[in-house]
Structure 1
Amino acid sequence: MKVVFVSVFLFLAVSVLTTDGKESSKGLTCEQEVALVQPCVDYLTKKTEAPSTSCCDGLKKIISSSPTKKEKQAACKCLKKAASEIPNLCKERANNLCKECKIKVDNFIPNDLDCEKIV
């Protein structure tokens, strides 16, 4: 099965993890984050019209597990790398994933996927 986005992102769409290279965000490894957003792949590749509940729930868990700037950046980098491995990824859908999931979060995964811009 193909490795997934998120943030997207999502996004996010994906790169270096944290300093030790194993943990991406508080309590979650990069591999766990990728697994959480795996259900988003069909939406991000235009196989479905809307993200699934499991996609949105996974994204919410990643966001809630990444409270600090460093953790958000690490999650962004992880998902950015994963997104780069998805053929036919729709960047517009990745950029709008949080909105489609009705998640109000600013700059979790910036539109230009520059994870250093996260505040």
Structure 2
Amino acid sequence: MKIVFVSFFIFLAVSVFTTDGLTCEEEKTLVKPCLDYLTKKTDSPSTSCCDGLKQIISSTPTKEEKIDACKCLEESGSDVPNLDKDRANNLRKDCKINVYNFMSDDLDCQKLD
């Protein structure tokens, strides 16, 4: 379960746009609207979910920031039951976010580029 959550969120921290560094709590708040979709409570991700993903992506331009975001979301992901792996892996596409996807099933936050 933890790997699925990390796989879902790792793409959030792999693109460069701006430098509006976020705290871990802010990142958790931004991804919270995605949980209904990822646990099959809704049929599509909400606008607030996709906007939150975009904001996290734009706020993690350096490798260190990407790793920090990954670790934050990895830690919080262990508390979320019933995440759908297919939805998690396709969320980037479902939100029409065009960033390169570095996800893998054996994701290690330290291996981010």
Q: If the length of structure 1 is used for normalisation, what is the TM-score?
A: 0.74
Which residue of 2 is the match for residue 4 of structure 1?
A: none
4+ residue segments displaced more than 6 Å: none
Relative to its length, the structure with more helix (as a share) is 2
Preserved contact between residue 46 and residue 90 of structure 1 (Cα < 8 Å): yes
Give the Cα–Cα distance (whole angstroms) in 1 for the partners of residues 10 and 82 of structure 2.
Answer: 14
Aligned to 1:111: 104
Runs of 5+ unmatched residues, structure 1: 1-6, 14-24
The aligned runs of 1:1-119 (5 Å cut-off) are 10-12=8-10, 27-107=21-101, 110-112=103-105, 113-119=107-113
1:64-87 CA-partner distances (Å, limit 9, x unpaired): 000111111111111122221101
Aligned residues: 101
Structure 2 CA distance for partners of 1:34 and 1:9, relative to 1, 3 Å:
farther
Name stretches of at least 5 consecutive residues in structure 2 with no aligned partner: 12-18
Larger proportion of strand: 1
Identity, % of aligned pairs? 64
8 A contact 1:11–1:97 mirrored in 2: no
Q: Report the Cα distance in structure 2 between the residues aligned to 1:9 and 1:50, rounded to whole angstroms.
A: 18
Residues 10 and 79, structure 1, Cα contact 8 Å, conserved in 2: no
